[in-house]
Amino acid sequence: MTANRAEATAAGPDWARGAARLAGRLKGLRPWRRFGLAIALGGLSVLALPPISAAPLLFVTVPLLIWLLDGTGSRRAAFAVGWGFGFGYFLFGLYWVAFALTVDLARFWWVMPFAIAGLPAGLAVLWGTVAAVWRALPWRGAHRVLGFALLMGAMEWVRGHALTGFPWNLPGYVWIDWLPILQAASVVGLYGLTFLTLLVAASPAAVVARDGQASRRAAVLPAMALVAILAVTGWGLQRVPGAPVATVPDVQLRLVQGNIPQVEKWDPAFARRNFEVQRQLSVAEGFPAVTHVIWPETAVPYNVMGDPLARELLAQVTPAGGMTLVGAPRFGGTDADQTYWNSLLALDDTGTVQAVFDKFHLVPFGEYVPDWAWFLTAVGADVSGAGGYSAGDGPVTLDLPGLPPMSPLICYEVIFPAQVTADGQRPAWLLNITNDAWYGETAGPHQHFAIAQARAVEEGMPLVRVASTGISGVVDPFGRVTARLGLGSQGVVDAPLPQALPQPTPYARHGDLWLWLMLGTTSLVVVLWPIATRRQPRTNTFEQ
């Protein structure tokens, strides 16, 4: 070690030397230990998401991932580490998907391995690809951290769009319970917030270079990240008003949560009882003040349109001059060639269907079998019960008597940023009906509700959510929950409808434009940084 380096080491702060020593140990791990630690770090990162929302954990796990990648000697090794981190993240973040299959395990047992491990393994390929590309590029120092956030942010956008998209548990959702920071979604959306989250979370890794040496200059990046977090928090605190937002006059909603187990929902033996449970909840105490009643997705699991008695019974629990909105399947075609839609029906107090909305973004394998999944039938898998629904047109804006214009969303449709409202007439609120009974009392319904909260902030309009077993509630345009009924509870939520913001948010107007501007700017910095610093004198370093 040279005299200059020895002097720098002696003067170096403890945190810098400690970080360099830790990075050095990670770099020296055997490949299988590095891979196992990557899986563990990915699983630990899930605690940053709802319902735990321990967002600061990412400031530990993401830098450790980068230091693990620094220790890889090839693109293949980097892919393995990135894949391992992604596998742990998706395995523990999406475990609840397999819970749905236990409802009819005898029929769908063959899907269980795919749901438990196959889905996480497939999604993890995207993160592994990011790691391999990142390792192949000649990035050093702090700009390799920028490059990591750049590639990961872009890949998360791809995950939300490729093969119909699955943007569940984007890293930006860690801020759901940190409302001041969540307000940034009104400008950059959840994809943009995901990129910023990855950037600030990865920034501590900049204090140690890829060769394991610590740099004073690189410490500027985490300092800037801290300033950015404080600035966004200050702006968010200023943006969210101290008082509740105004409500829509003469509208009192009743959200009906029957808490009907999924194993009983489609059983004909329970059909009459389930229907009556929801009817009685609809007219429970406080009903005279209610103007509109809302039931969840497939609350009536048969053809209401073709059943005059069902419509008559629904009319009896519809407020005079108001409406009842009911989730139910809709049928079309002939007996030999039936067509099915997952629909929302709006009935008036005479039992007349005034409006219909058909779900337009269907769940792959749950409501239809994608064309690209032809290989499943080729290997003999029974997919006959995994589809059958047709997609409607959407998104749409519905005008219903006594209500401001709304954008209806059924279940899964609420998870897609910038795809929840129609072009043209701006709705005044979002209505999300869903059946989360498939997932029991797992993390899935909590994550789903949190995702819906983010759409309210992005669009600057309230969101009303009605779930069969929970979580049901009302969210104002700043993401604040104004009324809520918890998971696994039976009852109703009576609440006024908050008003939308007077003007659309920047994200509602421009979508992901800010994301691409941020990614483009970061790309320029990553490319130009080595050129600008090529002739700079070497930074003092600290011994590992």
In tens digits, what is the pLDDT along the chain, a chain of 544 residues? Answer: 344 443 333 335 666 677 778 878 888 888 899 999 999 999 999 999 999 999 999 999 999 999 999 989 899 999 999 999 999 999 999 999 888 777 776 666 667 788 788 899 999 999 999 999 999 988 877 888 999 999 999 999 999 999 889 999 999 999 999 999 999 999 999 999 999 999 999 999 988 877 767 766 667 888 899 999 999 999 999 999 999 999 999 999 999 999 998 888 888 888 899 999 999 999 999 999 999 999 999 999 888 888 999 999 999 999 999 999 999 999 886 665 678 899 999 999 999 999 999 999 888 877 776 665 555 555 455 555 556 788 889 899 999 999 999 999 999 999 999 999 999 889 999 999 999 988 988 999 999 999 999 999 999 999 999 999 989 999 999 999 999 999 999 999 999 999 999 999 999 999 999 999 999 999 988 877 666 666 555 544 444 3
- Residue 504 placed within a domain: no
The set of residues, in sequence order, having a beta carbon less than 8 Å from that of 405 and lying 6+ positions away, is 397, 398, 399, 425, 426, 427, 428
One domain, residues 320 and 444 = yes
Gap between the Cα atoms of 346 and 111, Å rounded: 35
- Pairing state of beta strands 323-333 and 338-348? antiparallel
Residue 475 is given by DSSP the state: E
Distance CA 430, CA 171 (A): 23
Give the separation between CA 459 and CA 189, rounded to whole angstroms. 9
Q: Is residue 171 part of a domain?
A: yes
Same domain, 402 and 342: yes
Please report whether residue 270 resides in a domain. yes
Q: Kind of pairing, strands 406-410 and 429-434?
A: parallel
How far from 99 is each of 88, 114, 168, 182, 381, CA to CA, in Å?
18, 12, 17, 30, 20
Residue 386 belongs to domain with CATH number: 3.60.110.10
Going by their DSSP bridges, the two strands 338-348 and 353-358 should be labelled as antiparallel
| Pair (343, 359) in one structural domain | yes
Residue 453 lies inside a defined structural domain of this protein: yes
Asked, for residue 515, whether it belongs to a domain, the answer is yes
For residue 330, what is the DSSP state? E
Element containing residue 432 per DSSP (H, E): strand 429-434
- 454 within some domain: yes
The residue with tokens 């949190």 is: 450
The reply to whether 152 falls in a domain is yes
Q: What is the pLDDT of residue 381?
A: 52
In terms of Cα–Cα distance, which of 457, 515, 505, 418 is closest to 196? 515
Residues 71 and 171 in one domain: yes
Cβ atoms of 123 and 199 closer than 8 Å: no
Q: What is the pLDDT of residue 356?
A: 95
- 486 and 518 in a single domain? The answer is no
Nearest to 398 by CA among 462, 449, 325, 331: 325
Q: Which residues are catalytic?
A: 297, 359, 411
Q: What pLDDT does 46 receive?
A: 97
Tokens at 9, concatenated: 């080491």
Residue 295 and residue 153 share a domain = no
Write down the pLDDT at residue 18.
76
Clarify whether residues 430 and 523 are in a common domain.
no
Are 321 and 186 part of one and the same domain? Answer: no
Domain total for the chain?
2
Report the alpha-carbon distance of residue 357 to residue 114 in Å, rounded: 32
The verdict on 491 and 524 lying in the same domain is no
Q: Please indicate, yes or no, whether residues 466 and 534 belong to a single structural domain of this protein.
A: no
Q: Which spans in 2-74 are helix H?
A: 3-11, 14-27, 31-45, 58-70
User: Phi, psi (5° rounding) for residue 250?
Assistant: 60, 30
Domain for residue 505, yes or no? no
Distance of CA 231 to the CA centre of its chain: 24
| pLDDT at residue 152 in the model | 97
Burial class (CB in 10 A: 0-12, 13-18, 19+), 305: middle
Q: How many CA atoms lie within 13 A of 490 on its CB side?
A: 12
Q: Which two tokens stand for residue 533?
A: 């610093």
Same domain, 351 and 432: yes
- Is residue 79 located within the same domain as residue 203? yes
Q: What's the pLDDT score for residue 8?
A: 38
Range of the domain at 130: 3-240+510-542
